Amino acid sequence: MKIMVTGGAGFIGSHTVDALIARGDEVLIVDNLVTGQREFINPAADFREMDIRDAALRELAKEEGVEGVIHLAAQIDVRKSVADPIFDAQSNILGSLNVIEAALAAGARRFVFASTGGAIYGDTDERPTPETALCQPCSPYGITKFSIEKYLYYYQVQHGLSYAVNRYANVYGPRQNPHGEAGVVAIFAQRMLRGEPLAINGDGTQTRDYVFVGDVVRANLAALDADYIGVCNIGTAVESDVNRIFHLINDALEAGREETHGPVKPGEQKTSCVDWRLASKLMGWKPQVSLDEGIRQTAHWFRDQHQ
Ligand code: NAD
């Protein structure tokens, strides 16, 4: 199949492209390299340095005969979305609508969208949180992701677009971006390797559901191959606090750091953890990589970059 991957030069996107190519798909990458990196781009893919808001995207997808789309390109920084909600909406709402229109123009048979289980539910006592929980995103970033889920439903009803939404928990792994939702892993690893000061925000008991990038890639491919319509959480249903992440990275890098704490970050979500059983039912997916193993692989990747 010919698959267009937006954001294919980024963290999750580049791993997704590698997996598609490894199984024999043809890949068209659309990425403006705002956070993506040229060295992550698989040389077997066709790469276009292009913004997802560019109207020429529709013609490109049509000419290239795109059959499936995995849409990952986005402004990913929650704090930036708070500082500049208009830019966030231009990128994540208008840009995404342009990608959906391009998929329609090309007559693509399947559309997979990268949404968020980290930022869409907000703080809730219902954990692991199922897809049926009330979505109360409290950042422009979470709101734009939720909006596109609703637009996809509209495009399915009105235009017959077959789509799947993957709501990722906090994704970590080699090539990860410090601005992403699991940015703490990259930040801690880099500071330890550079010998820079490192303080855990507040008491470090804030929790997240950390899912390894390899597991997320399998979910992207499974969603592309399946034909259900709807939304699945992609996480582990395991809550881990920041103190644990600190110690796992410290041990993996043999950094010998002492745990130190700084001020609480105002407005930070306290907890997050998603129920992934629907993904298991609809597409036979389940997480496979344990946090210990995933953090080890990630920390070692950062160490290799540092040398
Ligand atoms: P990333 O920054 O590494 O990847 C995003 C890619 O999109 C980059 O290559 C960037 O250059 C590209 N891009 C951004 N704006 C663009 C634009 N206007 N036009 C063209 N290309 C553009 O981040 P990532 O962590 O790999 O995130 C991928 C997707 O997964 C995003 O949609 C993000 O919101 C979603 N997501 C990530 C996480 C996480 O923990 N990393 C969690 C939930 C959802």
Of the residues 121, 141, 155, 163, only one is catalytic, namely: 141
Average pLDDT for residues 154-163, to the nearest whole number? Answer: 98
What kind and span of H or E run contains 238?
none
Distance (Å, whole) CA 192 – CA 98: 41
pLDDT score of 145: 98
Residue among 4, 5, 12, 152 to mutate when testing ligand 1 (max atoms within 8 A of CB):
12
239: helix, strand or coil: coil
pLDDT band at 118 (very low <50, low <70, confident <90, very high): confident
Check if 141 is active-site: yes
pLDDT digits (tens, 9 = 90+) for 19-51: 999 999 999 999 999 999 999 999 999 999 999
Q: 129 forms bridges with which residues in the sheet?
A: 274
Judged against a pLDDT cut of 80, whether residue 182 lies above it is answered with no
Long-range CB pairs of 34-41 (<8 Å, 24+ gap) are 35/10, 35/76, 35/177, 35/179, 36/7, 36/8, 36/9, 36/10, 37/9, 37/10, 37/175, 38/9, 40/9, 40/10, 40/11, 40/14, 40/175, 41/8, 41/9, 41/14, 41/17
The pLDDT tens digits of the residues spanning 241-295 come to: 999 999 999 999 999 999 999 999 887 889 999 999 999 999 999 999 999 999 9
Q: How far is the CA of 77 from the centre of ligand 1 (A)?
A: 9
Beta strands per DSSP E along 96-162: 110-116
Average pLDDT over the chain reads 96
**Residue 179 pLDDT > 90, yes or no?**
no
Percent of the chain exceeding pLDDT 70 equals 100
Looking at ligand 1, which residue's alpha carbon is closest to its atom 28?
72
Using CB distances shorter than 6 Å, the residues near ligand 1 are 7, 9-13, 31-36, 51-53, 72-76, 91, 95, 114, 116, 118, 168, 170-171, 177, 180-182
Q: How far apart are CA 147 and CA 141, in angstroms?
A: 10
Ligand 1 mean position, distance from CA 169 (Å)? 14
- Closest approach atom of ligand 1 to CA 171: 40
Query: Following DSSP, what letter does each residue of 44-101 receive, concatenated?
Result: TSEEEE--TT-THHHHHHHHTT--EEEE------HHHHHH-HHHHHIIIIIHHHHHHH
pLDDT the model gives residue 181:
75
CA of 10 to the centre of ligand 1 (A): 6
pLDDT for the residue 21 = 98
Average confidence (pLDDT) over 166-175: 97
pLDDT confidence band for 307 (50 / 70 / 90): confident
The pLDDT of residue 19 is 98
Distance in angstroms (rounded) separating the CA atoms of residues 72 and 30: 10
